[in-house]
Amino acid sequence: MSGGLPIERALEALNPDQRQAVEHVEGPLLVLAGAGSGKTRVLTCRIARLIETHGVDPGLIMAVTFTNKAAEEMRNRVRTLLGSEPSGMWIGTFHSIGARILRRHAGRIGFGPGFTILDADDSLRVIKRVMADRNVPQRWKPQAVQGFISRAKDNLVTPAGFAESAVDPFSRIVADIYPAYQARLKDGNAFDFDDLLVKPVELFESNPNVLERFQRRFQFVLVDEYQDTNHAQYRFVALLAREHGNLCVVGDDDQSIYGWRGADIRNILEFERDFAAADIIRLQRNYRSTQVILRAANRVIAENVNRKGKTLYTENESGQPITLVTAADEVDEAEWIAGTVALKVESEPDLTHRSLVVLYRTNAQSRALEEAFRDADLPYRIIGGVRFYERREIRDVIAYLKLIANPRDNSAFLRIVNYPRRGIGDSTLTALLNAAAGRGVTPLEAARAARGIDGMRPAGAKSLEAFAGMIDRYRALTAHTRVHELLAELIAELGLLESLRAEGFEGIDRAQNVEELVAAASEFDAAAALEAEDLEEVGEVTELDLFLQKVSLIADVDNLDPDADAVTLMTLHNAKGLEFPVVLISGLEEGLFPLSRSYDSLEELEEERRLFYVGITRAQKKLFLTHAMRRRRGGEWLTSSPSSFLEPIPDDLVETLETERYIERISLRRRAADRLHPWRGEVGGEAGGLVYDYSDSQDVPNLPELEEGARVRHPRFGPGTVMALDGQGTDLKAVIEFDDEGRKKVVLRYANLELE
């Protein structure tokens, strides 16, 4: 059989659990796919087998992912397995599929098909204008308002529903802004990113015939990374699969790390409750990491209570021990990491710079690392910095394209009406906006006849009319001009490259970025036909609309160049889904990782631990874990303790190192006192956890004397009963069953408990 079709060879290579998941056909299925267990292979083989073996029309299949890169990889693999293009199949992110549905049916909910997609900055700009119109006090921050509205949308809470539950002053402010913000979006024929999830659900629930059409169309729905779904995404797939029940979700509850942005781990933990008679298949064989790395990962994640439960194993080699490093401070830590990277690349021929990644909990930690890498003349790249499409000059050009595509996009109009400068000052703009509001038209429409506006200066009116004429002229070109051609002509007419280069060295870089945007538009042309697939019924949608949609949906990890020979620096969140031969995780200190704000909630603490688990399981061959004895925070040196996440890792899996600077700073007396501190045991020592006792070296605050069964009161969670105690000294924790908030694990030195 090994000489057969690609799909046959792929099936032959599957392990028994993978094959069971692939051969499952009808009914709900949850595939619990551990890190490095080959879930993409399972998903793509499952799709290919549905088509090849069971004769399912590709047009009946929808596969949903979280990144454009994952969607493209899935499509390519399915194409390879089938030997042909799976025409008609929808593969894409939640947002891109939502946008695709809305392109067809936005009219059913009061929008046009040529709508604009606002990114976070555009959305924030609209919110700021709404707040200004309502004279909201400056102490209420627009970013916070935006976050509240976004979370409300994640949970499908409408403006009216939000207002009903708004009890505190800030929530009442948001309740006033939310409906006005939505009205502004509708007036501008625009959706924000969250609307691409919310509006399809609204469409389905308010138009049963449309829902029925999509249910008939997509008889098989597959969802990747299901543990990262929020309520809106859950509702979307539940509606699609409600009639036929052919829903296959793949995910790992142990890698659910996006609760802070709306992901609900209950979606995967309670899958069997939501979809009756669901089958569950666990993929526990890991193909990525060594046995040592997996043993450590399994011990760490076993500390979590809220999980489905699985134990990863591998047939790979045992591997090198994990190296645990104590540094004097964050500068010493960064320099040690840079030196180790240089040594590894120099001494191991099979490693290049791109073989290594440095992971950290917060972006602020990258500063010391960047300086150390620059001083060591090591090539590096940061994932999570300023993204290409978020750079000022790119956003300015994109705003032109947005206004050309959608003349009702007021955010784009305001951004570029005087860029490059064309003599339109604040007074001219105010007169224009007042006139537009009075006439009930868009600012662009008012600009077309600016000379008829009372109080408008002739020079300003002339500039406005010229600007409007230019936009209208380019809009007429969109029907028959390729995006890159239109873009190049627009940039030349505006003289953007020349004006940017005149700004000096930084301006030259910005000009190169604009030129790169034209290149991106040119590359998009080849894919335009595929992007337009199934859109023949929507005649108003242009290539420009689709290009702007793609730009709006691009994620940072999608831009990770696998060929760049540089060490990658990134946060642990950005590392999800990636793998590297050598992984270094820095800053493993209490209060930093886990973050101190997670101590008050068992759910938050467990998400922090899952994040550590994700970091560990990125490593293929070698894992380094580092922490510093002290770290600057707020300009002050603060003494640090090793992270409690290190405790479960067995001693026989690790080797411990101390940097030279750390040794120099520790006196003989201090060294004697520290023997209890960082880690016990050497490689090959007795099995057991890494034990800490900080009580002799740090002042322990006055903690209440607790015992199991004691009644306590927490300042945030209210009264509760102590169920269990764990740890010692400043690391003492309590599991408390709160009367109103349920069971949570708190660290006593931060919890401010009072005995009742």
Binding residues: 33-40
Q: How far is CA 141 from the centre of its chain?
A: 23
Backbone angles phi and psi of 239, in degrees to 5: -65, -45
Pairing of strands 61-65, 654-658: unpaired
Query: What is the DSSP annotation of 299-368?
Result: HHHTT-SSS-----B-SS---PPEEEEEESSHHHHHHHHHHHHHHHHHH-TT--GGGEEEEESSGGGHHH
From the candidates 224, 330, 332, 393, give the one annotated as an active-site residue. Answer: 224
Any catalytic annotation for residue 40? yes
Nearest-angstrom CA–CA distance, 612 and 298: 11
Report whether 651 contacts 687 (CB < 8 A). Answer: yes
Residue 745: strand, helix, or coil: strand
Report whether 300 contacts 609 (CB < 8 A). Answer: yes
From the candidates 44, 219, 255, 290, give the one annotated as an active-site residue. Answer: 255
Q: Which residue has the tokens 């349920």?
A: 742
Report whether 333 contacts 640 (CB < 8 A). Answer: no
Any catalytic annotation for residue 618? yes
From the candidates 17, 154, 225, 607, give the one annotated as an active-site residue. Answer: 225
Report whether 521 contacts 491 (CB < 8 A). Answer: no
From the candidates 8, 19, 20, 40, give the one annotated as an active-site residue. Answer: 40
Any catalytic annotation for residue 227? no
Pairing of strands 567-571, 247-251: unpaired
From the candidates 18, 39, 252, 344, give the one annotated as an active-site residue. Answer: 39
Report whether 642 contacts 588 (CB < 8 A). Answer: yes
Any catalytic annotation for residue 39? yes
From the candidates 402, 408, 618, 744, give the one annotated as an active-site residue. Answer: 618
Report whether 390 contacts 384 (CB < 8 A). Answer: no
Report whether 136 contacts 177 (CB < 8 A). Answer: yes
Annotated binding site for ATP: 33-40
| Alpha helix stretches (DSSP H) within 384-482 | 392-405, 410-416, 426-439, 443-448, 458-477
Which residues are catalytically annotated?
39-40, 224-225, 255, 618
